[in-house]
Structure 1
Amino acid sequence: MERTEIIIGGDTAGIEWRLPVFRFKGSDATAPSVYIQAALHANELPGVALSHFLLERLRKADAVGAIRGDITVIPQANPIGLAQSHFGEMEGRFDLGSRTNFNRDFPLVALAERDTLIAGMDRRSAVDRLKRTLLHTALGHDLVLDLHCDDESLQYAYIDDAFWPEAADLASALDMQAVFLSDGESTAFEEAVGHAFKRQGGDKLKSVPGRLAVTLELRGRRDVYADITQRDAEGLWAFLAGRGVVADPALTVRPYTGPAVPLDNIEMVKAPEPGTILFHRDIGETVKAGDILATLITRPGDPDGTVDVAARHNGLIATRSSARYARRGDDLMKIAGHEPTRRDRKPGTLED
């Protein structure tokens, strides 16, 4: 194992950011290479914990020569966001300087243009240099896994159609309860990687066998527990073994049996008015159109001071807000359904 650091100079004097990078050299040049990063949204920590346990497993494998493909792990990919603590809360999703999401605005380049990402870096902001360095590093690999989490959530993944159903082995190994099939039309990290993989110098490819770019949503932000995380690390190890990245012939991955639904089938349940949230249904429950999901106390004390929020479609509650007060238009839940929830959804991400 080799441990190095990526150093990102700050935009003001006397500041720099350091990202530890762990690399394992594989013994088989034909085996797939893997890039894994966690906490691009710095306050999403389940992936950090998973990386810690996975690295422990990888070091043991390295000691006995069981690493077949090159592996790169960046367990805490956003030290800039990690330092953004205000009023007792880490603000790790958005850059406070530019007000942009740390997981948006990644450059969209073809794979052959990879090295253009790091040209003229001295003229760019620290956040832009961070994004370009991460993307450049990831594009040197075959399989790219970006570890995130949601608010209150089941274990699920965003996977571009171009990598499905080949990626069902990952969904199975990590016991995903749902897969959201994305359209690859945003500037998020995983979709920027997918953009490059689908454009390898010629026309856009509809499928890319042997390649993968995926966002893994490792349950909710509070789901950082040793037993769960160790189980997830074992699941990721099983995926690596199944793809031939590590040697463990005793492992087999069972078929994935959960739902795989396009983003058009995701109902974003929003608060019609501001108020205190009383949830009636929880993640993992199956609901029918018309079921009451939550009650908003909009005018406390008034006889008519509540508003019920009902499901508009049948489906599985995949996520729920951890907040208990909603502003008008805030997201309350995501429901994965069996049919399109709207016909006018623009390509791209579900949330900012």
Structure 2
Amino acid sequence: MHVQRTPLVSTTLGTTRDLVSFHFGAGRAGQKIYIQASLHADETPAMLTAWRLKQRLIELDAAGRMRGEVVLVPVANPIGLSQHVLGQFIGRFEANSGQNFNRQFPMPAAKALVERVGSRWCRDDAAYNTRLLRAAVCEMLGETTPRNEFESLRLALLKHASDADVVLDLHCSLEATMHLYTSPASWPAIEPLARYLGANGVLLATDSGGQSFDEIHALLWNEVRALLPDDVPLGAPNIAATLEHRGQRDVDYEHADGDAEAIVSFLIARGVIEGEAPEMPALDRSATPLAGSEQLIAPVSGIVIYRAEVGAVLKAGDAVFDIVDPLTDAVTTIATKNDGVFYMRRATRFVYAGAPMGRVTGAKAFRTGVLIGA
């Protein structure tokens, strides 16, 4: 194992932070896997899972079982970890700019990448072109100069991930069941991981509209492919997914151990780690389009009483939550219009009118535009 510390740009006098990454099997031929945790710094279950995964990778590396390279960043957001305001942990948004740490990631422009490769594109070797494109991305990222700590964090994460075959971004929701987001192109390769994790919600979207860390890799591939001549082949885009390790309060050894072992099983199944992969469990729920998930909105303000637990399988018309107005005695019941899994909900128990309250998966796409929250 090799430990690398990447200094971030100092935003104010007297302050410095590093991004710490752990490299297993570095320099080995084979696949490169990039895994990071808690880009939203207050999503602690992901960080605990990454810590448990690090212990397992140390054991496997020492046993000589690494057949590829794994780069692990257990603390992907040292900036957000320091943001506490009046006792409240603010890890989702960067305090100076207000930007979401996992939105609008700045990848190099597809046109510039195509031009950089220029006449070197090969007309009969898709794998060769994939290597060319990844090298061009890394070159252009290396030529970028960040202006502040926030930009330098993003750049450091992109540099670690942009030449990886598989990118896994570990998160959690507010209160949630185990679920994940990926693209239709990545789903066949990610399905074994969903099985090992026991995910009972898999949401598919090529472009959810937020340019989140996992999506930008596949999106860039699509943009480059559209600019290349038809007779220039290009390999499949980087496989990428966001893993939602339940809710913010689900911080315990049992979940972390199980999730870390699921990721190890996935890496064994891919041949990155030597060994016999465990038999894959059945997929708990079929993948559904993110555009088919129903966003439940509070129509009024009041006290929230959830009538459905996270992970519940609901039918259209089932009650999901009530909102109680203690002044007028009115009780407003919100029901789902979907048949699906109630996969996440807000942690607060008092809401304002118009607040997003939770989501239920759905098999039929009906939403357009930006599909993910702020």
Partner of 2:116: none
**Superposed counterparts of 1:238-257, under 5 Å:** 238-249=265-276, 251-257=278-284
Q: Measure the CA separation in 1 of the matches of 2:234 and 2:338.
A: 31
Report deviation, 1:325: 1.0
Partner of 2:372: 350
Partner of 1:152: 175
2:191 aligned to which of 168, 179, 184: 168
Partner of 2:341: 316
> Is 1:302 aligned to 2:325, yes or no?
no
Report deviation, 1:195: 2.1
Cα distance change, pair 63–155 in 1 and its aligned pair in 2 (3 A)? same
* Contact in 2 for aligned 1:280/1:293 (Cα 8 Å): yes
Report deviation, 1:219: 0.6
Moved more, 72-81 or 135-144: 135-144
Cα distance change, pair 251–313 in 1 and its aligned pair in 2 (3 A)? closer
Report deviation, 1:27: 7.4
Deviations 1:311-338 (A, max 9, x none): 1222211111111011222111110022
1:326 aligned to which of 351, 362, 365: 351
* Contact in 2 for aligned 1:149/1:216 (Cα 8 Å): yes
TM-score by length of 2: 0.86
Q: Measure the CA separation in 2 of the matches of 1:15 and 1:121.
A: 19
Partner of 1:187: 211
Q: Measure the CA separation in 2 of the matches of 1:284 and 1:257.
A: 11
Deviations 1:197-232 (A, max 9, x none): 445676489996483111000111111110111011
The letter of the residue matching 2:103 is: R
Partner of 1:73: 72
Report deviation, 1:13: 1.2
The letter of the residue matching 1:173 is: Y
Report deviation, 1:126: 1.3
* Contact in 1 for aligned 2:179/2:246 (Cα 8 Å): yes
The letter of the residue matching 1:246 is: I
The letter of the residue matching 1:3 is: V
Q: Measure the CA separation in 1 of the matches of 2:289 and 2:235.
A: 18
* Contact in 2 for aligned 1:267/1:337 (Cα 8 Å): yes
> Is 1:84 aligned to 2:107, yes or no?
no
Q: Measure the CA separation in 1 of the matches of 2:216 and 2:149.
A: 19
* Contact in 1 for aligned 2:221/2:237 (Cα 8 Å): no
Partner of 1:336: 361
Moved more, 236-245 or 182-191: 182-191
TM-score by length of 1: 0.92
Partner of 2:37: 38
Tell me the secondary structure at the aligned position of residue 107 of structure 2. coil
Cα distance change, pair 281–7 in 1 and its aligned pair in 2 (3 A)? same
Q: Count how many residue pairs are aligned between Structure 1 and Structure 2.
A: 345
Partner of 1:116: 140
Report deviation, 1:64: 1.5
Report deviation, 1:287: 1.9
Partner of 1:47: 46
Q: Measure the CA separation in 1 of the matches of 2:235 and 2:90.
A: 36
RMSD of aligned Cα (Å): 2.2
Q: Measure the CA separation in 2 of the matches of 1:197 and 1:138.
A: 14
Partner of 2:10: 10
Tell me the secondary structure at the aligned position of residue 337 of structure 1. coil
Q: Which runs of 5+ in 2 are unaligned?
A: 111-133
1:269 aligned to which of 284, 287, 296: 296
Q: Measure the CA separation in 2 of the matches of 1:10 and 1:88.
A: 24
Cα distance change, pair 250–320 in 1 and its aligned pair in 2 (3 A)? closer
Residue identity over aligned pairs, in percent, reads: 31
* Contact in 1 for aligned 2:291/2:371 (Cα 8 Å): no
> Is 1:223 aligned to 2:250, yes or no?
yes
Q: Which runs of 5+ in 1 are unaligned?
A: none
Cα distance change, pair 143–200 in 1 and its aligned pair in 2 (3 A)? farther
Q: Measure the CA separation in 1 of the matches of 2:27 and 2:151.
A: 34
* Contact in 1 for aligned 2:2/2:23 (Cα 8 Å): yes
Report deviation, 1:53: 1.0
* Contact in 2 for aligned 1:271/1:327 (Cα 8 Å): yes
* Contact in 1 for aligned 2:169/2:214 (Cα 8 Å): yes
Partner of 2:156: 133
Q: Measure the CA separation in 1 of the matches of 2:200 and 2:99.
A: 30
Tell me the secondary structure at the aligned position of residue 47 of structure 1. helix
Tell me the secondary structure at the aligned position of residue 258 of structure 2. helix
Q: Measure the CA separation in 2 of the matches of 1:131 and 1:27.
A: 24
* Contact in 1 for aligned 2:103/2:212 (Cα 8 Å): yes
Deviations 1:135-172 (A, max 9, x none): 12101211110000011111111001111222211111
* Contact in 1 for aligned 2:289/2:363 (Cα 8 Å): no
Cα distance change, pair 202–264 in 1 and its aligned pair in 2 (3 A)? closer
Q: Measure the CA separation in 2 of the matches of 1:237 and 1:218.
A: 16
